[in-house]
Amino acid sequence: MSLSRKVRELLESHGKPQKEVYFDLENSGFIPQEVVEAMIPYFNVRGYGHPSITHRVGWEALEVIYETKELIARTINTSNPESIVFTHSGTEANNLAILGFLLRNRGSKSKKVIVSSIEHLSVIFPARFASELLGFKVILVPVDGDGFIDPEILKYYVDKDTILVSIQMVNHEIGTIQRLKEIVDVVKSANSEVVFHTDAADAYGWIHINVEELGVDMLTISGHKIHGPRGVGALYIREGLELESPLKGQLSVERLWPGVENVPLIAGFKKAIEMMFNNFDSRVNYVRNLRDKLMKGILDRVPEVLVNGPIGDMRVANNVNMSFLRIEGEALTVELSLYGVYVSSGSACSSRVLEPSHVLLAIGRKHEEAHGSILFKITHHHREDDIHYALEVIPRAVKRLRNIKCVEISMNQLDFRGEDCPGPLVKTIRVLTKVKRGEQLTILITSKECVEMIKQTIEVFEIAKIEIHSRDNYYEIYLEKTIEN
């Protein structure tokens, strides 16, 4: 059976809920019709030519590229549109910033790179890669329980050997808004030669940004974080700062990122920016009000819940992150999806590995607290009734999961008799991530529906061989792990 067929059966087994509320905007979001319509002409009507070719259709492509650069420049308060470089995502922009700068300066005597312990992995991993490849020393700066960096502590890390500092403007998981101007000033006063990069992917469109006042040298933004298309991002690079692209190939319009620019996506990015920056303050206040209602509503209705990140004005308007104690975040994600409430558990780029969030561990959460985390991202497209519906469903889902008995593991046997999905499904996947390749697992289960969900999930992700046997009043499932952890 093809993978697409397996996924189709998985979808059909769940069915479509009567009402759907999408809070999974950290992973990805829908694209408004206006953005779609802005992209369509550039596929086949105008601007579909190569933007570096000297004919009319190429010039049409070039025009929208320059218009979008000019728009981004205005929204971050820089007078130089040429300081904007398009990439294919925020992750690529972060890689270009970190690796591009360190490659360009691999012969420097200064070798210290400082990043915060709660950075997006697209900052941490390139920094570590540069450490292994080029000999740079990476320092992870600690944060407090709300994710804030103390500038007074940071200044002790910065010295004459420091070459690069990268600290987020807003954290992607817990919504912490760093006091970035103060942080940049501390870094630059300790060593004026240090280059400062900030990942503003979760700040852009939500807080006002002025790169000249902040004094940052590089800044990352991403299209899909503002209801733009996936596959487009941008990096601001201060005039005079030189990078070396980690990618090699034919350059088009961009001087640092080889390949032909995806003009339709850039056109969609432009429209999304225009929409996000229209009525900026009233939109942000509207979303902040919804955020506060959701957060307060959960705290009032559900016991044993922790708020991850700050409460108040230093939390970005669209972020709610909470840990629901005594349940798994993955189980709650699946349970809520059955009601049509779509959320995420952990960071988008790491949630599939079922490991606790490095961000939550960095702010002092225990492993079991981090495993119970749920992230809601709210937008101006949500309405009051969406929040009310979520507040009806969440307590019900949490109560049901907390009433499920803990999984019993004996001689690689899981006994789920008497339990309904999604609990057995999530626990099975979690246990499979812990056993070694070739190890066998036996599952005892009553629910036929849950047997089908486990079977389809195992087949889609191809992580184990599976046999199912019907017994008196229950099913016996045999699994053999087929992949390495």
Catalytic residue IDs: 349
Contact 83, 239 (CB under 8 A): yes
Q: Phi first, then psi: what are they for 221, rounded to 5°? A: -135, 165
Tokens of 424: 């057995």
> 3-state class of 31 per DSSP?
coil
The alpha helices in 229-382, defined as continuous H runs, are 263-276, 280-301, 329-338, 358-362, 367-371
Angle ∠(50,54,59) on CA atoms, nearest 5: 65
Cβ within 8 Å of residue 393, ≥6 positions away: 336, 339, 341
What is the secondary structure of 134-152 as a DSSP string?
A: H--EEEEEP--TTS---HH
Cβ within 8 Å of residue 374, ≥6 positions away: 321, 322, 323, 324, 329, 332, 333, 343, 344, 345
Q: Phi first, then psi: what are they for 322, rounded to 5°? A: -135, 145
Rounded-to-integer distance, Cα 452 and Cα 459, Å: 11
> 3-state class of 115 per DSSP?
strand
Contacts made by residues 215-221, CB under 8 angstroms, sequence distance 24+:
215/181, 215/184, 215/185, 215/188, 216/180, 216/184, 217/241, 218/97, 218/101, 219/76, 219/169, 220/90, 220/93, 220/94, 220/97, 221/72, 221/76, 221/90, 221/93
Q: Phi first, then psi: what are they for 470, rounded to 5°? A: -90, 125
Q: How many helices (H) and strands (E) does the chain have?
A: 17, 17
Cβ within 8 Å of residue 359, ≥6 positions away: 118, 147, 171, 172, 173, 174, 347
Torsion of CA 211, 213, 215, 216, to 10 degrees: -20
Contact 443, 476 (CB under 8 A): yes
Q: Which helix (H) or strand (E) holds 74?
A: helix 56-75
Paired with 479 in beta bridges are 441, 466
Closest among 289, 307, 309, 285 to 298, alpha carbons compared: 307
Contact 199, 90 (CB under 8 A): yes
